[in-house]
Amino acid sequence: MKFDWEYFLETLPYVASKLDVTLTLTIISAAFSLIIGLVFALISYYKVPVVSQLLKVWISFIRGTPAAAQLFFFYYGLANLVAIVRDMSPTVAVAVIMSLNMGAFVSESIRGALISVDEGQREACMSLGMTGWQMTSRIVVPQAFRVALPPLFNDLINLFKMSSLAFLVGVRDVMGTAKIEGANTFQFFECYACVMLIYWVITLILTFIQKVLEKRCNAIY
């Protein structure tokens, strides 16, 4: 069996035409996962009684189970019990799971960055009479941001790749389009090669943006 380059080049624009669905899922999920992760990280960082312990269990569960299983449990399982889930479109359901899943990973990335700030600086802030909010917003967060940037971009890249699970519940994204095209032509090799190339190119772009931001952060701090 030979790789059909002509078919590959013809199919690539067709598969890439659904990139807007994949990117929309990624951007929306990234925004919500960042909010979730930041809230969870601050709760863990300040060791809020009871809540922080419950979050540890939640984060452990999310990080320890496959995203595909979570999606099926939510969209096919929980939908039998909760009406609001049953009425969700497949795209919304995927975005919810992507946000919750990556929110757990983002929270750990942010929490690790917050902990990395030297304890002496926090003590100095307290001796100067700063409030907890002032210390966090003016001293801790600016320094933690530089530390958190690389792992957060890794989380973003993983989130982008996670969007390929959307086709499992019928979303016509890049992966879903390639699957349907492959089923029609039986040229799965070329179709999935298109998918891999598209994901790789976007990942390279995100990696480039990460490096630019890291250089700017290093110049500022």
DSSP string, 124-160: HHHHTT--HHHHIIIIIHHHHHHHHHHHHHHHHHHHH
The total of structural domains in the chain comes to 1
pTM exceeds 0.85, yes or no: yes
* CB neighbour list of residue 209: distance below 8 Å, 6 or more residues apart: 153
Question: CB of 101 within 8 A of CB of 162?
Answer: yes
Residues of the chain with pLDDT under 70: 1, 132, 220-221
Contact, 206 vs 160, CB < 8 A? yes
In tens, the pLDDT along 142-175 reads 778 888 888 999 999 999 999 999 999 989 999 9
Give the count of beta carbons closer than 10 Å to the beta carbon of residue 137: 12
Amino acid 220: pLDDT: 66
What would the two tokens of residue 215 be?
Answer: 């250089």
Q: What is the CATH number of the domain that holds 195?
A: 1.10.3720.10
Output the pLDDT for position 131.
72
* Domain residue limits at 120: 5-220
pLDDT at 181 (0 to 100): 93
Residue 17 is predicted with a pLDDT of 94
